[in-house]
Amino acid sequence: MGTFLLLMAQASAEVGELATGKGEGGFGLNTDILQTNLINLAIIISVLVIFGRKVLGSTLKERRERIETAIKSAEQRLKEAQRGLAEQQQKLAQAQAEAEKIKQVAAENANKAKDAILAQAATDIERMKETAVADLNSEQEKAIAQLRQRVIALALQKVESELQTGIADDAQHRLVDRSIALLGGKG
């Protein structure tokens, strides 16, 4: 405060010198300290500097504290976001691993199903072949049986026709033997 008053006094002195140099002009400076209220201004400025510094200091301190709080809060949110990101990345990795396992299981199940279908198809084909062979054998036996009946019928017709015409005993024996042989008997 002492330096401030010293500066004010020097400013007054310089103003006084300027005013005396122009003594007659219409414009002049009043160098009387009591009349110009320089003391009042100095007091007001001193009070403002002393108390204003406290108010300004406390305002700046409060602002600094709010900024520090905001920075700490932002850093905390950043840490939480980074933790959340790390957790979500871990969950994503787990989900991708699970998806890969599901793909592998699905591929294995598809291969098993394919193998089962192929095995079932092979079994069905084999059964169809067996059925076809059995049907063929059955049809063949029916055809042989029909041929036998036809041969027997023809042989009987021939025998009857020869009997009606009267055949010799030798011829009758040969005919009977041949008919028995055709029927599968021994003769």
pLDDT in tens, 7-43: 767 766 665 555 555 445 556 666 676 667 777 888 8
- CA–CA dist 39, 33 (Å, integer): 7
Question: Does pTM top 0.85 for this prediction?
Answer: no
Give the type of residue at 118.
L
Give the separation between CA 1 and CA 47, rounded to whole angstroms: 10
Contacts of 155 (CB under 8 A, 6+ apart): 175, 178, 179, 182
Locate the domains of the chain by residue range. Answer: 141-182
Cα–Cα dist 88/81, whole Å: 10
Question: Of 95 and 22, which is predicted with more confidence?
Answer: 95
